[in-house]
Structure 1
Amino acid sequence: MNENRAELEPSVERIVQAIDPASSVPVSVQLRGALEFGIASGELIAGQRLPSVRALARRVGMSPVTVSTVYAALQAAGHVEGRAGSGTYVRATGDTDQRRRLAEIDARVAELVALGRAAGLSPAELSLRVSMAQPAPRRPVCLLMVGNFHDATESYAADLRAHLRDGDSIAAATLADVEAGGARGHDLILAPRTLLSRLREVAPDIEAVGVTLIPNEATRVALATLSPDARVVGYSYFPGFVTIMKTGIQRFAPHVSNLTMVVRGDDDEARRIADTEVLIYASGADYLREALAPGQLAFEYRHTPDAQSVRTDVLPAIESCRRTTPRRKDAAV
């Protein structure tokens, strides 16, 4: 009974509907991308129970082994957690980090109390000293925003810069830059959640924090003004992004019924683009505009950091990083 309810929850159903068995992108890749987008966008909320492996496999039309593999990959990336005898749940990342920080504070308070007792201080004297203590000077933090394309990542960094304190800095780099060693000298890495696993492999000594991205205002306005009868093609540069993009289009343009997703390299890529009335292309595919005929509309599907994610994920991580030993600035992107 519970499995059926989870399978039919509107948020899960919307994600499942974005999966296209006829696409050139493997269904397993689509499922993982759709679930990652649902978690990152808040469509799937922290603590929400996902459908069981068998229930989701039946609904999507794939083997339970494949669904289990997708769930395992999401758990390894820190997006979900398995609870013995209960199921798979969306991980409450912010709550987990807060509990970790509070546990660290409790441990340090215990150390301080022990030092006070050893010095012969009464609890009242120790409390007075704590209340009179001056906070340590805030040190600047050097951040690195990482994405797939430099121009888009620069825009993410620019949006985040408005939230930083005086003296803090943020640079932009692609994943390829980081793989080549370009993260050295930075205190903290910020990135879309889909890149976190790889970043933790190539830059294990620098903490990486996930940033939830949503379509920016220009993209949302363009999606909202599409004609319900328009023939729309969504073009994704990466197979792993196709379902994320499709889910976002459906979320902000639910009135559009004729939507086809195309991935770079599809056999009928040119024909589908030529036949469409509206082309929505992912960052990095600007060159497609040159081949469009007069009258065809095109706009970029670009993201921006979600304000709530900045408040709950990014800023607390920056302040936590600020209290640690500065990293040697021996390189920069």
Structure 2
Amino acid sequence: MDSTFERLAVAIDKSSSVSVSVQLRGALEYGIASGDIPPGTRLPSVRRLAGHLGMSPVTVGNVYSALREAGHVEGRVGTGTFVTHGGVSHQQAQSLRDVERCIGELVRLGQEAGLSRAELAYRVSTASFRPGHVRVLMLGTFHDATAAYAEDIQPFLRPGDEILARTTEQLVRDRPERIDIVVTPRTLRVEAQALFPGIPVVGITLIPKEATRIALAAIAPQAQVAVVSYFPEFLPVMRAGVLRFAPHVTRVTGAVSDDDDLPGLLSRADVIVHSTGADNLRQGLRADQMAIEYRHTPDSHAIETDLLPAIDACRGRTPDKEEHAP
């Protein structure tokens, strides 16, 4: 069992009000989304992981089934369960089919014009291409975090490209008219594909922001830390993050923002580490208490290897490319 799953075992809190199945699914989903469990990784067998975590094989099997239904993992007969590559694999396949059709038509036209394949290839290699501007939608759950993701991605885009930030809730009343490509945390990729059928969707990897990592590392060793998540499934991810970036801290308790015993937990804590969306916990803190928001940012490597190639694939075929061409 590698270090990733060792951290997973430590992060599962069986005394929590959140069921172990919800914790396990959340930990695996966000482990995949954060890149801790990268695409292509073979997950432990149901029985092996159940034994390692002290859970029922039925519980682990149900979690694996839910992850398969969500498109995060895939079962391969005789070999096991693997993390899917996600991203734009379906869109890339469709784009390649489009390219093949265009190449076939180009070869036909070249033959009619009396061009050999070598001459045609030379003309293709020297052809000029003026890329169009692309309109990107950053889709997330919380407005502030989603807007921050979009701001972090903007420097990677070309001049003239536009990136908008919307939450799934905002789309109900404010749906942009034209979007060329959607980027979203990998945990929302399947939902985004349903919301924007026919539009490329890129599931991006998220990592803790540098400011979050630095703040966690600065927690005093003797501090009593309360980890509070807005979503139950995100709780083990945050616990694992605290244990990873503040390994010197030994007293860590987790809770969901609507737990009945949350006020007592907060009153005993020296440090409150809260997820985005649970910012109201900062109200009423004592002067001797510290609050840290556990915030993520898009992984720059994922932007360069997954998002930018997908954006470039959109250039030149946007509906109003002539209008926006430089």
Secondary structure of the structure 2 residue equivalent to 1:304 = strand
Aligned to 2:324: none
Tell me if the contact between 2:204 and 2:298 (Cα under 8 Å) persists in the aligned partners.
Answer: yes
Q: What are structure 2's unaligned runs of at least 5 residues?
A: 322-326
TM-aligned CA deviation for residue 259 of structure 1: 1.0
Secondary structure of the structure 2 residue equivalent to 1:234 = strand
| CA deviation profile, 1:64-105 (whole Å, cap 9, x unmatched) | 333223223323333222111100112234694797366654
Aligned to 1:70: 63
Secondary structure of the structure 2 residue equivalent to 1:315 = helix
Over 3 Å counting, the alpha-carbon distance change for 1:243 and 1:79 in structure 2 is same
Aligned to 2:168: 175
1:209-220 aligned at under 5 Å gives the runs: 209-220=202-213
Matched, 1:272 2:265: yes
Pairwise CA RMSD: 2.4
| CA deviation profile, 1:166-190 (whole Å, cap 9, x unmatched) | 1111111111112446254222221
- Specify which of 312, 318, 324 is matched with residue 317 of structure 2: 324
Matched, 1:18 2:11: yes
TM-score after normalising by structure 2 = 0.89
Tell me if the contact between 1:246 and 1:261 (Cα under 8 Å) persists in the aligned partners.
Answer: yes
Aligned to 2:286: 293
TM-aligned CA deviation for residue 215 of structure 1: 1.3
TM-aligned CA deviation for residue 302 of structure 1: 1.3
Matched, 1:309 2:302: yes
TM-aligned CA deviation for residue 33 of structure 1: 1.3
| CA deviation profile, 1:188-226 (whole Å, cap 9, x unmatched) | 221111122222233334332112111112111101111
| CA deviation profile, 1:244-268 (whole Å, cap 9, x unmatched) | 2222222222222211111011121
CA distance in 2, matches of 1:26, 1:40: 21
Over 3 Å counting, the alpha-carbon distance change for 1:200 and 1:65 in structure 2 is farther
Aligned to 1:158: 151
TM-score after normalising by structure 1 = 0.87
Name the count of aligned residue pairs. Answer: 320
Code of the aligned partner of 1:174: T
TM-aligned CA deviation for residue 40 of structure 1: 2.2
Greater mean alpha carbon deviation, residues 219-228 or residues 76-85: 76-85
Secondary structure of the structure 2 residue equivalent to 1:172 = strand
Matched, 1:126 2:111: no
Over 3 Å counting, the alpha-carbon distance change for 1:118 and 1:29 in structure 2 is farther
CA distance in 2, matches of 1:317, 1:57: 38
Over 3 Å counting, the alpha-carbon distance change for 1:189 and 1:99 in structure 2 is closer
Tell me if the contact between 2:180 and 2:318 (Cα under 8 Å) persists in the aligned partners.
Answer: no
Aligned to 1:36: 29
Q: Which runs of 4+ in 1 moved over 6 A?
A: none
Code of the aligned partner of 2:59: T
Over 3 Å counting, the alpha-carbon distance change for 1:97 and 1:310 in structure 2 is farther
Q: What are structure 1's unaligned runs of at least 5 residues?
A: 1-7, 329-333
Secondary structure of the structure 1 residue equivalent to 2:169 = helix
1:104-253 aligned at under 5 Å gives the runs: 105=99, 108-135=102-129, 137-180=130-173, 182-253=175-246
Over 3 Å counting, the alpha-carbon distance change for 1:210 and 1:27 in structure 2 is same
Secondary structure of the structure 2 residue equivalent to 1:162 = helix
CA distance in 1, matches of 2:26, 2:70: 12
1:44-55 aligned at under 5 Å gives the runs: 44-55=37-48
Tell me if the contact between 1:80 and 1:88 (Cα under 8 Å) persists in the aligned partners.
Answer: yes
TM-aligned CA deviation for residue 108 of structure 1: 4.0
CA distance in 2, matches of 1:228, 1:104: 58
Code of the aligned partner of 1:112: L
Greater mean alpha carbon deviation, residues 153-162 or residues 124-133: 124-133
CA distance in 2, matches of 1:15, 1:326: 46
Tell me if the contact between 1:178 and 1:202 (Cα under 8 Å) persists in the aligned partners.
Answer: no
CA distance in 1, matches of 2:86, 2:277: 30
Code of the aligned partner of 1:125: E
CA distance in 2, matches of 1:202, 1:98: 15
Higher relative CO (Cα under 8 Å, sequence separation at least 6) belongs to 2
Secondary structure of the structure 2 residue equivalent to 1:233 = strand
